[in-house]
Structure 1
């Protein structure tokens, strides 16, 4: 199977975290995961699931105010979580001096920037519905509606040319 684009329906935050865990099973040092989507789409939830599955120390939180947060692992590559929203260009991302070859790097808001620094990445685009709140299920925890997301995952470069593992893991 040579499938470099997969679209999934993710019903709730638990399923988004589970998708992060599925991605965690495939990533290794030198891999870059590019996350795109509106505020509140689920980018950090996905990264939290990825981090938990990787066994990072500490809690994965949004790096909005620090730009990049490193989550160490014991005897394994660290997870580096980057929020590129406030960066003005690829040169500013490069100035963060990220250890791409030695880490697993997850970048939120990095479209248009990462292309200048690496040749291969896994692009994850999360779309949340607009105007769907009336049809959403209320969460017991916070009474906010839980709206399904459409997640499109595209592999860029030879490393990610086959995303068959997403189908094999079940949806």
Structure 2
């Protein structure tokens, strides 16, 4: 399955979100940068868990909030997955870095970024500067909850962007 340049899908459960992420993960390749945006609890890490399953990487995928970045090596000779909390990479004043590649490099990851898939939670305004092409994924849980407060649904919007 290949993915369209842009689109949206409603996933009713966390399991559906992971299943969609798994399909996406099978289509990502070394050098791809994925920026995830959405409020706390929107499902960014849940989606990343599915992507990791599709990429067949090792290690438990958890929120990178307390570690800033976590690297997951491939089990099948594919690219590694670098899962980053870009918000934590910002300065104390919340300003974006003038050198986002340097910020990522300072994390002393074992993998070269062009040989991995980088997934950055809260990465808007920072991480897209490290690649000429990136996938922006926005997760919306609020729309479904308005209609049904018990809903676990989320609407996932995605679009590939190229920088000039």
Is the TM value for this pair above 0.5?
Answer: yes
SS of the counterpart of 1:86?
helix
Structure 2 counterpart of 1:27: 28
Structure 2 counterpart of 1:123: 136
Displacement of 1:55 in angstroms is: 1.6
Displacement of 1:153 in angstroms is: 0.4
Check the 8 A contact 1:32/1:100 in 2, yes or no: no
Return 85-94 or 64-73, whichever deviates more: 85-94
Displacement of 1:93 in angstroms is: 5.6
What CA distance in whole angstroms lies between the structure 2 residues aligned with 1:131 and 1:119?
A: 33
After TM superposition, the score normalised by the length of structure 2 is: 0.81
SS of the counterpart of 1:132?
helix
Q: Which has the higher helix share?
A: 2
Displacement of 1:131 in angstroms is: 8.5
What CA distance in whole angstroms lies between the structure 2 residues aligned with 1:65 and 1:86?
A: 9
Displacement of 1:132 in angstroms is: 2.4
Count, aligned residues: 148
Check the 8 A contact 1:17/1:46 in 2, yes or no: yes
Structure 2 counterpart of 1:53: 54
What CA distance in whole angstroms lies between the structure 2 residues aligned with 1:43 and 1:12?
A: 13
Output the aligned Cα RMSD: 2.1
Displacement of 1:12 in angstroms is: 0.8
Structure 1 counterpart of 2:93: none
Displacement of 1:146 in angstroms is: 3.7
SS of the counterpart of 1:96?
helix
Q: Per-residue CA shift, 1:41-76, capped at 9, x if unaligned?
A: 000000001111222112111111111100111322
Task: Please state if 1:135 is matched with 2:148.
Answer: yes
